[in-house]
């Protein structure tokens, strides 16, 4: 039952099945059912996760546990000549995102109900995308990871390029080429690692790296290459400009997936690949990373404030929110690391809500100009209320999940990077400013006569939003539900990072001036 293979290939097979169907309505329903069929095992796995993890931890020897504890593992040889395995499994780092993927997809199918053209192609590609995304988070073999990583691009390209807005082709090509550009570095790093160690296993590589000789310069080059590959996905300044374009052009559901899941892959890649394999280089990169986080937070917020397109504003707010993740990752404290992962998850739910909400208004008014509305609360009070909740969550209101993750990041980061953290707190001020300013312009003030008779949010749309709202509220009040589950894994990450920092400091003493 707890099969990651099922979660990954269920939707892919589903995509094939969808192709066999004829009627549009049937296709929509089939896609929804397929995504739900994947969702329920996903929920069961989350509920079971803590127990399974405890069992797995108990069954491993200390030596085995040193490479991390994983659950729901599946491992079969794939290409034996090159020691490539089909190795799936999750830990506290990936489980939240596997769950987020299976959880968001039904909502996105529901949000795509309004797609009228080429429904079959859309749903098939969407399900393919779902499978590939889950595969990225579940893969424990670098080669397999790379395969899913690339596989994901294909449906994304078409989903933006065919069903997108007016500049869809430009946005789609930009997105794909940008990611491919990063993939080159990932690919090179993968090959070099394989050449040195003869393994693609993400579990073995950290240990194997300890036994081989590699000059500091090569290490740094590989680390930075991997960083670029992942930074593009995060997206970290200055590799972020594909994001606003992709978001603005993509259909609502694809924006949701893009913000909710794809962006997480960048930070996840750093956590899963860069940090364990190059912990010493990671230690070298701490302060630059924190600075980039700061830039993301402040720069993203300021750019968001200057936007006139609602969707672009949300896109830039994403950049700002992902800055917290980077700041949290740059500091080796339990609070900040957990905060970073929690922020990734929360960003997934909160920004998903924001994009869905933008979609709701776009479907009605057919534009997204912030200044083109006004007083929308009057015709659409429920919509206004849900948007208020989402905006409050995005600006980090206590009681909602975003507050906890931001606070954790700050509390951890402050212990090491005082100045950068203090400067970053301006992000919560700017966040409040642009969120509330937007809310004021769109929802408050005199009613714009043109939109005085807009229909209220529909039940279907509420169904896409309500589950996310529940997560935002429940995790805001009981964050331990999430944080306790990821805690053992994060402790492991923290321990390996701290070892890396010691190694780095030792290198510093030995290498002296050689180190930049």
Partner 1 sequence: MTLRAFLIVVIPLLSFATIILFGRLSRLRGICDRIAIAAIAISFILSYGIYRQAMSAYDMGEPFLHLTAAPFEWLTFDHPEAAGQQVSWKIGFWVDSMTAMMLMVVTIVSLLVHIFSLGYMKGEENYNRFFAYLSLFSFSMLLLVLTDNLIILYCCWELVGISSFLLIGFYVNRESAAAAAKKAFVTNRVGDLGFAIGLFLIYSHFHTFSFREVFERIQAGEMSSLKLTITSLFLFCGAVGKSAQFPLHIWLPDAMEGPTPVSALIHAATMVAAGVYMVARLYPVFTPDSLLVVAYLGTFTALMAATIAVTQFDIKRVLAYSTLSQLGYMDGRPGGGAFTASMFHLTTHAFFKALLFLCSGSVILALHHEQDMRRMGGLWKKTPITFLAMLTGCLAISGIPFFSGFYSKDMILAGALEFGMRHPQHMLLFLALLVTAGLTAFYMFRLLFMTFTGTPRDPHAYAHAHESPRNVTIPLLLLAFLSISAGWEHLGLGGFFKERVIPWGKPPVSAHHAGTPNPLFDAAYAQEPPATEGSGASATLSEGNTSPTGHGEEHDDLAHTAHVLATTLSVIGSIIAICLSALFYWERFRVVDPARAAAMFGRFYDLSYNKYYVDEFYDRTLFRGLEVVRNFLARFDLRIIDGIVNGTASGTVKTSRGSGRFDLSVVDRLVNWLAEVIQGYGQRIRRIESGVIQNYVLKAGGAFGVMVVLWFVMKSLWGGA
**Does residue 491 touch partner 1 according to CB under 8 A?**
yes
Q: How far apart are CA 187 and CA 184, in angstroms?
A: 5
Please report how close the Cβ of residue 333 comes to partner 1 at its closest, in angstroms. Answer: 6
* # residues contacting partner 1 (CB under 8 A): 55
| 466 is a site residue for partner 1 (CB under 8 A) | no
Residues 339 and 406 sit within 8 Å (Cβ to Cβ): yes
Site for partner 1 contains 249 (CB under 8 A): no
> CB of residue 324 vs partner 1: minimum separation in angstroms?
13
* Separation CA 488–CA 337 (nearest Å): 12
Q: Helices 334-365 & 381-394, crossing angle to 10 degrees?
A: 150
To partner 1, the closest distance from the beta carbon of 318 in angstroms equals 14
Name the residue nearer to partner 1 (CB basis): 20 or 306: 306
Neighbouring-strand partners of residue 139: 88
DSSP string for residues in 199-261: --BTTTHHHHHHHS---HHHHHHHHHHHHHHHHHHTTPTTS-THHHHHHHHS-HHHHHHIIII
Q: Helices 119-138 and 142-151: crossing angle, nearest 10°?
A: 160
Residue 10 interacts with partner 1 (CB under 8 A)?
no
**Closer residue to partner 1 in complex, CB, 146/434:** 434
By CB under 8 A, the residues from 354 to 393 that bind partner 1 are 375, 377-378, 381, 385, 392
**Residue whose structure tokens are 């969120």:** 435
**Helix, strand, coil percentages for the chain (3-state, nearest 5):** 80, 5, 20
Residue 483 binds partner 1, judged by CB under 8 A: yes
3 state SS of 32:
helix
Contact call for residue 333 and partner 1 (CB under 8 A): yes
Nearer to partner 1, 12 or 393 (CB): 393
Q: Which two tokens stand for residue 301?
A: 């917020």
Binder of partner 1 out of 77, 114, 198, 445 (CB under 8 A): 445
425 makes contact with partner 1 (CB under 8 A): yes
With CB under 8 A as the contact rule, the residue among 242, 271, 285, 345 that binds partner 1 is 242
Q: Which long-range contacts (CB under 8 A, 24 or more apart) does 62-71 make?
A: 66/207, 67/203, 67/204, 67/206, 67/207, 68/203, 68/276, 68/489, 68/492, 69/488, 69/489, 69/492, 70/140, 70/203, 71/2, 71/95
- Under the binding rule (CB under 8 A), the answer on residue 345 touching partner 1 is no
Residue 403's closest CA among 412, 413, 393? Answer: 393
Among 119, 142, 265, 305, binds partner 1 (CB under 8 A): 305
Distance CA 91, CA 70 (A): 5
**Residue corresponding to tokens 């301006």:** 426
Q: Which of residues 127 and 400 has its CB atom nearest to partner 1 in the complex?
A: 400
Q: How far is CA 41 from CA 1, 10, 49, 444, in A?
A: 7, 11, 12, 43
Angle at 223 between CA 220 and CA 224, to 5 degrees: 85
Nearer to partner 1, 185 or 414 (CB): 414
Q: What is the DSSP string of 325-383?
A: HHHHHTS--HHHHHHHHHHHHHHHHHHHHHHHHHHHHHHHHS--BGGG---TTTT-HHH
The distance of closest approach from Cβ of residue 45 to partner 1 in the complex, given in angstroms and rounded to an integer, is 24
In the bound complex, what is the minimum distance in angstroms from residue 102's beta carbon to partner 1? 26
Residue with Cβ nearer partner 1 (26 or 440): 440
Residue closer to partner 1 by CB (options 3, 415) is: 415
182 touches partner 1 by CB under 8 A: no
Token readout for 43 is 């929920």
- Give whichever of 197 and 417 is closer to partner 1, judged by the CB atom: 417
Which residue lies nearer to partner 1 by CB, 249 or 335?
335
Q: Does 241 bind partner 1 (CB under 8 A)?
A: yes
Find the binder of partner 1 among 227, 285, 324, 443 (CB under 8 A).
443
- Residue 271 beta carbon to partner 1: minimum distance, rounded to whole angstroms: 18
Q: Cβ of residue 491: shortest distance to partner 1, in angstroms?
A: 7
Residue 17 found at the interface with partner 1 (CB under 8 A): no
Find the binding residues for partner 1 in span 137-176 (CB under 8 A): 174
Whether 106 and 123 have beta carbons less than 8 Å apart is answered as no
Of all helices (H) and strands (E), which one includes residue 85? Answer: strand 84-90
Task: Figure out which of the listed residues 107, 108, 220, 303 binds partner 1, where binding follows CB under 8 A.
Answer: 303
Site for partner 1 in 40-99 (CB under 8 A): none
Point out which residues bind partner 1 (CB under 8 A). 174, 177-178, 237-238, 240-242, 299, 302-303, 305-307, 333-335, 338, 375, 377-378, 381, 385, 392, 397-399, 403-404, 407, 410-411, 414-415, 421-422, 425-426, 428-429, 432-433, 436-437, 439-440, 443-447, 479-480, 483, 491
């Amino acid at each position: 039952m707890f099969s990651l293979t099922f979660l990954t290939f269920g939707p892919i097979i589903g995509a094939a099945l969808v192709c066999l169907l004829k009627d549009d309505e049937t296709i929509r329903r089939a896609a929804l059912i397929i995504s739900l069929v994947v969702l329920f095992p996903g929920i069961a796995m989350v509920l079971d996760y803590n127990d399974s993890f405890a069992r797995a931890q108990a069954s491993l020897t200390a030596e085995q546990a040193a490479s991390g504890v994983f659950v729901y593992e599946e491992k079969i040889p794939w290409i034996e000549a090159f020691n490539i395995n089909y190795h799936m499994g999750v830990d506290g780092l990936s489980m939240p995102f596997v769950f987020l993927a299976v959880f968001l997809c039904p909502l996105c199918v529901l949000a795509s109900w309004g797609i009228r053209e080429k429904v079959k192609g859309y749903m098939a590609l969407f399900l393919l995308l779902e499978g590939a995304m889950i595969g990225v988070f579940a893969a424990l073999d670098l080669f397999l990871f790379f395969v899913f990583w690339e596989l994901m691009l294909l449906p994304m390209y078409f989903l933006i390029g065919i069903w997108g807005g007016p500049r869809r082709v430009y946005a789609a090509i930009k997105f794909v080429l940008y990611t491919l550009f990063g993939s080159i570095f990932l690919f090179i790093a993968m090959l070099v690692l394989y050449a040195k160690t003869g393994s693609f296993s993400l579990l073995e590589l950290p240990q194997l790296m300890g036994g081989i000789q590699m000059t500091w310069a090569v290490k740094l080059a590989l680390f930075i290459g991997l960083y670029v590959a992942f930074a593009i996905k995060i997206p970290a300044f200055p590799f972020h400009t594909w994001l606003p374009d992709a978001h603005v052009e993509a259909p609502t559901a694809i924006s949701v997936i893009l913000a909710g899941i794809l962006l997480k892959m960048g930070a996840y890649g750093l956590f899963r690949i860069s940090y364990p394999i190059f912990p010493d280089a990671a230690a070298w990169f701490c302060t630059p990373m924190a600075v980039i986080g700061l830039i993301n937070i402040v720069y993203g917020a300021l750019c968001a404030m200057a936007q006139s397109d609602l969707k672009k504003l949300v896109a830039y707010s994403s950049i700002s929110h992902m800055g917290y993740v980077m700041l949290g990752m740059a500091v080796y404290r339990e609070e900040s690391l957990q905060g970073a992962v929690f922020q990734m998850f929360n960003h997934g739910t909160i920004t998903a809500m924001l994009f869905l909400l933008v979609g709701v208004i776009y479907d009605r008014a057919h534009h997204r100009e912030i200044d083109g509305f006004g007083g929308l609360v009057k015709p659409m009070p429920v919509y206004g209320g849900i948007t208020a909740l989402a905006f409050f969550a995005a600006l980090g209101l206590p009681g909602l999940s975003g507050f906890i993750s931001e606070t954790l990041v700050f509390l951890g980061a402050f212990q090491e990077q005082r100045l950068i953290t203090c400067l970053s707190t301006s992000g919560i001020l700017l966040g409040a400013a642009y969120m509330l300013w937007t809310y004021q312009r769109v929802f408050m003030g005199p009613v714009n006569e043109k939109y005085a008779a807009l229909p209220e949010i529909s039940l279907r749309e509420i169904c896409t939003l309500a589950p996310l709202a529940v997560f935002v509220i429940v995790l805001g009040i009981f964050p331990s539900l999430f944080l306790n589950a990821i805690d053992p894994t994060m402790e492991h990450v923290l321990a390996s990072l701290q070892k890396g920092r010691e190694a780095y400091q030792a290198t510093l003493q030995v290498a002296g001036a050689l180190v930049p």
